[in-house]
């Protein structure tokens, strides 16, 4: 659909018609739109880095502050949304978001903290099987976490990290190459740790197929869903993924440094896997026996990996965003996303090909909403888009522009305006 002329058009009126008929147009009104110095809304195409603030987030945080001021410690049980059980509300919406059972998900910590916690439990190296499979050009925090984790286990990252790369001259990974690598080296690989969506190229990996291949090779499977949660339809339980982690400040609109999330498949929820423990992962029935508990007894499910009581002020904005996801529905958002990103692709392919090259896969099922565009002068182009046209995208070294039309708050007309700006930039070069 995205590669042909139909059903898209380059006329401004076509884009405006799409917005008038958009059943999800109401979502945009639920978000604060950043504005320029003259108070005009910016065209925000950077949700892949930081999502916009739900309008109701301010009131949600103010409510917690008000209850803290009025009630003090009694807010744990007597607040309108009691703090003691606050994290429990997230189970159902997060489960719907990532395709899990409610007991398989928990909102806690940050992505990298959660990754370390999962590595403690799920990376069980033996002399024969001690390697971790990652992708080339992984997000640096993942690379750092895995490398330093290996070092703390007495393993040399240079020997224990297996890196899968695109083929020479290509930008994205091929699933068959990952399968071939697993078939060849899987007997040495203890853990696969790949992204759901690769942050630099925007490629959405075939999680189901990769998980199946890794399990056939005897590997444990974990995914970083930082760019996939809220951006793609996921079925983590059905796909049999062992664990996953994600942040909540990109497509989940939870705010800068928002509380992350974690998935642990049901089959591991009651296991005796080793873990780093904290009192909030303890069985709630005995949690407040405090020092009278002789040992840590984890509650069943993903909650058993919690360390500390939840940060209510940080979780309040995420709660507001997840309510928008539930009202809109993941399937409807994804359907609009495919159309919106397809339109952006359609238009960019009408720019001079020697100046703008799309790295992200053309197949809608192989990408989220982000398009990564290789361009000479990419950094300068991103600067001109912002300064001259009020368009917020981002630059990734050495030569990539990332643009993410987010279905909950971006419009077809905004996509058209981005294209017109790029036409002008290309014509002036």
> Which of 284, 309, 325 is where one domain is finished?
325
Mean pLDDT score, 142-150: 97
Residue 285 binned pLDDT confidence (cut-offs 50, 70, 90):
confident
Same domain, 175 and 294: yes
Residue 353: give its domain's CATH number: 3.90.1150.10
Same domain, 199 and 128: yes
Residue 57 lies in a domain: no
> Which of 272, 296, 325 is where one domain is finished?
325
Reply yes or no on whether the pLDDT at 2 is more than 60.
no
Same domain, 359 and 419: yes
Reply yes or no on whether the pLDDT at 270 is more than 90.
no
Reply yes or no on whether the pLDDT at 272 is more than 90.
no
The tally of domains found in the chain comes to 2
Residue 294 lies in a domain: yes
Same domain, 143 and 287: yes
Residue 429 binned pLDDT confidence (cut-offs 50, 70, 90):
low
> Which of 325, 350, 368 is where one domain is finished?
325
Same domain, 194 and 103: yes
pLDDT of residue 92: 98
Residue 132 lies in a domain: yes
Same domain, 288 and 346: no
Distance, CA of 167 to CA of 384 (rounded, Å): 33
pLDDT of residue 1: 40
Same domain, 89 and 22: no
Reply yes or no on whether the pLDDT at 5 is more than 60.
no
**pLDDT tens digits along 386-395:** 999 999 999 9
Residue 398 binned pLDDT confidence (cut-offs 50, 70, 90):
very high
Decide: 132 and 150 in contact? Cβ < 8 Å.
yes
Reply yes or no on whether the pLDDT at 6 is more than 80.
no
Residue 48 lies in a domain: no
From 8, 50, 48, select the one nearest 344 (Cα to Cα).
Answer: 8
Mean predicted lDDT score pLDDT of the chain: 96
Same domain, 279 and 174: yes
Neighbours of 40 (CB within 10 A): 10
Same domain, 268 and 374: no
Q: Residue 68: exposed, middle, or buried by beta-carbon count in 10 A (0-12, 13-18, 19+)? A: middle
Same domain, 311 and 171: yes
Residue 270 lies in a domain: yes
SS (H, E, C) the chain: CCCCCCCCCCCHHHHHHHHHCCCCHHHHCCECCCECCCCCECEECECCCCCCCECCHHHHHHHHHHHHHHHHHHHHHHCCCCCCCHHHHHHHHHHHHHCCCHHHEEECCCHHHHHHHHHHHHCCCCCCCCEEEEECCCCHHHHHHHHHHHHHCCCCHHHHEEEECCCCCCCCCCHHHHHHHHHHHHHHEEEEEEECECCCCCEECCHHHHHHHHHHCCCEEEEECCCCCCCCCCCHHHHCCCEEEECCCCCCCCCCCCCCEEEECHHHHCCCCCCCCCHHHECCCCHHHHHHCCCCCECCCHHHHCCCCCCHHHHHHHHHHHHHHHHHCHHHHHHHHHHHHHHHHHHHCCCCCCCEEECCCCCHHHECCCEEEEECCHHHHHHHHHHHHCEECEEECCCEEEEECCCCCCCHHHHHHHHHHHHHHHHHC
Same domain, 223 and 367: no
pLDDT of residue 353: 75
pTM for the full model? 0.96
Decide: 418 and 388 in contact? Cβ < 8 Å.
no
CA dihedral of 220, 226, 227, 231, whole degrees rounded to 10 = 90
pLDDT of residue 288: 86
Mean pLDDT score, 241-247: 98
Reply yes or no on whether the pLDDT at 3 is more than 60.
no
**pLDDT tens digits along 174-218:** 999 999 999 999 999 999 999 999 999 999 999 999 999 999 999
Mean pLDDT score, 15-39: 97
Same domain, 202 and 274: yes
Residue 43 lies in a domain: no
Residue 232 lies in a domain: yes
Residue 4 binned pLDDT confidence (cut-offs 50, 70, 90):
very low
Q: Could you give the percent of the chain with pLDDT greater than 70?
A: 98
Mean pLDDT score, 40-50: 98
Residue 311: give its domain's CATH number: 3.40.640.10
Domain range for residue 82?
A: 62-325
pLDDT of residue 185: 98
**pLDDT tens digits along 300-320:** 999 999 999 999 999 999 999
Residue 319 lies in a domain: yes
């Amino acid at each position: 659909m995205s590669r042909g002329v139909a059903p898209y058009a380059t006329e401004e009126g076509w884009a405006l018609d799409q917005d008038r008929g958009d059943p999800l147009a109401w979502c945009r009104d639920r978000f604060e739109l950043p504005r320029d110095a003259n108070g005009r809304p910016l065209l925000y195409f950077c949700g892949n880095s930081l999502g916009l603030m739900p309008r109701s987030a301010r009131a949600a945080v103010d409510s917690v502050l008000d209850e803290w001021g009025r009630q003090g410690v009694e807010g744990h049980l007597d607040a309108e949304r009691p703090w003691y059980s606050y994290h429990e509300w997230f189970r159902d919406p997060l489960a719907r978001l990532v395709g899990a059972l409610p007991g398989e998900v928990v909102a806690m910590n940050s992505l990298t903290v959660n990754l370390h916690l999962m590595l403690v439990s799920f990376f069980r190296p033996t002399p024969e099987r001690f390697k971790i499979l990652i992708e080339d050009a992984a997000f640096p925090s993942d690379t750092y976490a895995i490398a330093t984790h290996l070092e703390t286990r007495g393993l040399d990252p240079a020997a224990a990290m297996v890196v899968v790369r695109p083929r020479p001259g290509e930008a994205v990974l091929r699933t068959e190459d990952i399968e071939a690598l697993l078939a060849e080296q899987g007997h040495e690989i203890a853990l696969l740790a790949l992204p759901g969506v690769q942050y630099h190229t925007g490629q959405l990996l075939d999680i189901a197929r990769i998980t199946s291949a890794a399990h056939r090779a005897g590997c444990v499977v974990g995914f970083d869903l930082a760019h996939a949660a809220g951006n793609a339809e996921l079925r983590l339980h059905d796909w049999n993924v062992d664990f996953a982690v994600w942040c909540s400040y990109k497509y989940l609109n939870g705010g800068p440094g928002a509380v992350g999330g974690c998935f642990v498949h049901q089959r591991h929820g009651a296991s005796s896997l080793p873990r780093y423990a904290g009192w909030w992962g303890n069985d709630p029935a005995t949690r407040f026996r405090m020092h009278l508990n002789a040992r840590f007894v984890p509650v069943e499910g993903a909650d058993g990996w919690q360390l500390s009581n939840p940060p209510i002020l940080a979780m309040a904005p995420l709660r507001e965003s997840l309510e928008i996801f539930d009202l809109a529905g993941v399937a409807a958002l994804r359907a609009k996303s495919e159309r919106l990103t397809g339109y952006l692709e359609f238009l960019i392919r009408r720019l001079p090909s020697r100046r703008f090259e799309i790295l992200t896969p053309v197949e809608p099922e192989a990408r989220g909403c982000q398009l990564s565009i290789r361009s000479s002068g990419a950094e300068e182009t991103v600067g001109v888009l912002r300064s001259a046209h009020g368009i917020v995208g981002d630059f990734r070294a050495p030569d990539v522009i990332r643009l993410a039309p987010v279905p909950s708050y971006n419009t077809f007309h905004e996509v058209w305006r981005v294209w017109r700006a790029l036409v002008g930039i290309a014509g002036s070069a």
